[in-house]
Amino acid sequence: MDMKIGTSGIPPHFWESKYSKGKDCRLNMPFWIKDIGLNAYEVLYTYGARMREENALILKENVKKTDIWLTVHAAYYVVLTSPKEDVQERSVEELFKAIRLADIMDAHNVILHPGYNGDDSEKSYNRFVSNLKLVVKKMKEHGISKPKISPEIGGKKSQLGSLKDIIRICEDVEYTVPCIDWAHLHAREDGSLQNINRFNDIIINCESLFIIKEHKLNYYPFLMLEKK
Ligand SMILES: [Zn+2]
């Protein structure tokens, strides 16, 4: 298996490096990642996908020069499960903004927190899926197909995002591949990752999904570890 290991966002050590000079020095992150011997970088849009297009293009070039595996994390306030229509609409817009920038940067995945479950988990699931389908529709209208949407396992049982939920979402919606956050899964399942069998179970589950979706094997590394 080809493993990609990197950082999400900008760690404090970056600011001590020679790359941290100038106004848009964050765009140098791929060079710093390569220098410290890693090969993946996740652009973290915690508070919204705010990046000028010309900067996204610079990042794309820097990623190409360094051969870094690039992903994007959508804003934490994207809540496609929300019962409030205005929140749903804003969430669809915000997620699409992150996807559009990811496409400009030539990123592989856009990671997404599925959101809270509410009182009726089936209703939340259906809201999530129909809103996500709206995002996929927008992607098609704009001719975007490279960055895959990666719903992430949620660390709390009150959130949509069990392993079963994530697999089900990826079966139900086009352009999706799972984001397996091992730490979240361990927390959610009350410490289930005790032995290799559970890891194998999860990998086999995802593998059969990839076969169903006819993804090529090079999508396999999308099983991600997000370290917080
Ligand atoms: Zn996350």
Two tokens at 96?
Answer: 């699409």
Ligand 1 centroid, distance to 47 Cα (angstroms): 13
Give the pLDDT confidence of 175-186 residue by residue, as tens digits. Answer: 998 888 888 888
Q: What is the CA(20)–ligand 1 centre distance, in A?
A: 25
Q: Ligand 1: distance of its center to the CA of 120 in Å?
A: 23
CA–CA–CA angle 19, 35, 105 (5° rounding): 70
SS3 of residue 45 by DSSP: coil
DSSP β-bridge partners for residue 40: 6, 69
Give the containing element (helix H, strand E) for 210. helix 196-212
When pLDDT is averaged across residues 72-81 and rounded to a whole number, the result is 95
Within 8 A by CB and 6+ apart from 95, the residues are 74, 78, 80, 110, 112, 135, 149
154 CA distance to ligand 1 centroid (A)? 8
Cα 111 to ligand 1 centre (Å): 7
Q: Which of 19-23, 190-194, 198-202 shows the lowest per-residue confidence on average (mean pLDDT)?
A: 198-202
List, as one string, the DSSP characters of 103-164: HHHT-SEEEE---B--S-HHHHHHHHHHHHHHHHHHHHHTT--SSEEEEBPPSSTTBS--HH
CA of 169 relative to ligand 1 center, distance in Å: 16
Mean pLDDT for the chain overall:
89
24 Cα: distance to centroid of ligand 1 (angstroms)? 24
Q: Note the Cα 195 to chain centre separation in Å.
A: 26
Distance 148 CA to ligand 1 centre (A): 15
Distance 85 CA to ligand 1 centre (A): 23
pLDDT at res. 227 = 46
Tens-digit pLDDT profile for residues 92-118: 999 999 999 999 999 999 999 999 988
The Å distance, Cα 36 to ligand 1 centre, comes to: 23
CATH: 3.20.20.150, 3.90.1300.10, 2.60.40.1260, 3.30.9.10. Which one for 6-222? 3.20.20.150
**Distance between CA atoms of 209 and 163, rounded to whole angstroms?**
12
Mean pLDDT of the 71-99 span = 96
Cα distances from 117 to residues 87, 120, 127, 157, in angstroms, run 15, 7, 10, 8
